Amino acid sequence: MSHSFGFRVARNTISVFIPEVCDAIFRLFSDELIQCPSTESEWKLVAKQFSEKWNFHHVLGALDGKHIALRCPPSAGSLYYNYKGFHSIVLMALVDADYKFLYVDIGASGSSSDDGVFGETELKEALEAGDIGVPGAEPLPGDGEPVPYFIIGDDAFPLKSWLMKPFQQRNMTIQEIIYNYRHSRARRVVENAFGILASRKLLGLSLLLRKLLGLLLLLRSRKIPLTEDWPGLDGSNGRSNSDVSS
């Protein structure tokens, strides 16, 4: 309502062009500002940052999902109702050692599990296929046994050769305790990245939230130069994700 009064534009008009502008900005800048590594050298740079900052080697990113609260869409039933007891969409993200978003998928319904959401992403498909330049197995510092490079996630995700999760906290050895500690400390970067977004208080909105959240992720990456022509506005809906093929 404040925008309608401030710009002397009808409220129903604002409700149309704000989503269109958000879509245009996201389409134009998402590949430029949220870039998933696609070469061996780019992935190794991410791993080097995790080694230096969090003392955890061969890590290609920290993965997690975040429930973003929203008003229940009309006739949605329980589709967006999550296990925490409120309606939401899911932001699935891979983050580097500096809290930078490497990959995002926005818009899955809140009733979906983190594993289920991740299983439908282009990132998971690319990691399974091994076609995004992930380095081959190499020895850890001071060791001669080759170890794969991997992303890290919590217990909600399946254990893979390219996705490592914590050991179950029962009868752990000293080595497993140390591993869990380093895993937890390194994985905290994705939780902290979500915390930075949450500080913007982008809560309780309608499905316009998906568009605003995508835009906020871009603006957090760096300032956007408004010097290029906008792409065509097609009013498309659905989930947004950053490209892992470029």
pLDDT tens figures, 24-53: 666 665 555 567 899 999 999 999 999 999
Map residue 160 onto helix, strand or coil: strand
User: 215 and 240 in contact (C-beta within 8 Å)?
Assistant: no
193-214 mean pLDDT: 59
CA 118, chain centre distance (Å):
10
Would the CA dihedral through 215, 221, 226, 228 be positive or negative?
A: negative
Asked which of 98-112, 157-171, 203-217 is least confident by mean pLDDT, the reply is: 203-217
What is the tens place of the pLDDT at every residue in 174-183? 999 999 999 9
Task: State the pTM of this model.
Answer: 0.74
Domain extent listing, the chain = 2-241
Average pLDDT value over all residues in the chain: 79
Instruction: Give the pLDDT band (50/70/90) at residue 215.
Output: low
Would the CA dihedral through 188, 189, 194, 197 be positive or negative?
A: positive
Instruction: Give the pLDDT band (50/70/90) at residue 194.
Output: confident
Rounded to whole angstroms, how far apart are CA atoms 50 and 64? 16
User: 61 and 128 in contact (C-beta within 8 Å)?
Assistant: no
Does position 222 have pLDDT exceeding 70, yes or no?
Answer: no
